[in-house]
């Protein structure tokens, strides 16, 4: 009896998952297209984004999600990880130190080296050190962040998974250094 009930529960769960996947996939694709257009529209005009969906369920889901996400996205747009360097950075050369940023796992501070308006190096001066685990996380995240910053030529890079506090502290200190440089 228990085996039959467990099998029925597992089958029901898989059915719900499959139906959700089938219904949600078009809605997610539509929402991603809509949000991309909404972020572009929000920066150029106050027009409401159009929602395009292939099924009535997807239309309702996408419309509700798009209105919520678009209002959030227009309030706090985020830059993609492949942001190009600002046009006003030509000629800036030197090493600039960011502010010390306190996180719940310790302080973070970085310095950035610029050569003719290009980020050439990012050095972590201080990484989180509250305990051995935070030291491990920071030591793993710092090289990844450095590589991404050098690639993006800005502080607008994605979080390192599992190192949220380290990433936020690192990027905040980096942005302070870039601001000090006028970058």
Structure confidence at residue 163 (pLDDT): 94
Residue 86 has pLDDT above 70, yes or no: no
Structure confidence at residue 4 (pLDDT): 73
| Between residues 83 and 23, the one the model is more confident about | 23
d(CA 146, CA 164): 15
Q: What are the C-alpha distances in Å from 61 to residues 14, 17, 29, 33?
A: 21, 17, 12, 14
The structural domains of the chain, ordered by start, are 2-75 (no CATH), 87-181 (3.90.1010.20)
Structure confidence at residue 24 (pLDDT): 62
Structure confidence at residue 90 (pLDDT): 67
Contact yes or no for 69/31 (Cβ under 8 A): yes
Residues in the chain: 183
For residues 10-17, give the mean pLDDT.
66
pLDDT, tens digit, 9 for 90 and up, residues 122-132:
999 999 999 99
Residue 109 has pLDDT above 70, yes or no: yes
pLDDT, tens digit, 9 for 90 and up, residues 15-68:
665 666 566 666 556 555 555 544 444 444 433 333 333 333 333 333 333 333
Count of other CB atoms within 10 angstroms of residue 166: 27
């Amino acid at each position: 009896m228990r085996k039959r009930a467990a099998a029925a529960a597992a089958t029901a769960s898989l059915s719900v998952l499959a139906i959700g996947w089938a219904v949600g996939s078009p809605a997610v694709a539509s929402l991603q297209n809509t949000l991309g257009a909404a972020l572009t529209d929000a920066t150029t005009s106050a027009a409401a984004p159009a929602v395009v969906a292939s099924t009535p369920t997807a239309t309702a889901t996408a419309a509700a999600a798009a209105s919520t996400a678009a209002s959030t996205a227009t309030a706090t747009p985020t830059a993609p990880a492949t942001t190009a360097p600002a046009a006003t950075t030509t000629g800036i050369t030197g090493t600039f130190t960011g502010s010390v940023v306190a996180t719940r796992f310790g302080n973070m501070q970085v310095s950035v080296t610029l050569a003719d308006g290009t980020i050439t190096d990012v050095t972590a001066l201080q990484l989180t050190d509250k305990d051995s685990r935070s030291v491990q996380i920071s030591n793993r995240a710092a090289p990844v962040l450095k590589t991404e910053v050098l690639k993006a030529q800005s502080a607008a890079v994605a979080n390192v998974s599992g190192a949220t506090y380290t990433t936020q502290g690192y990027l905040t200190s980096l942005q302070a250094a870039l601001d000090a440089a006028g970058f």
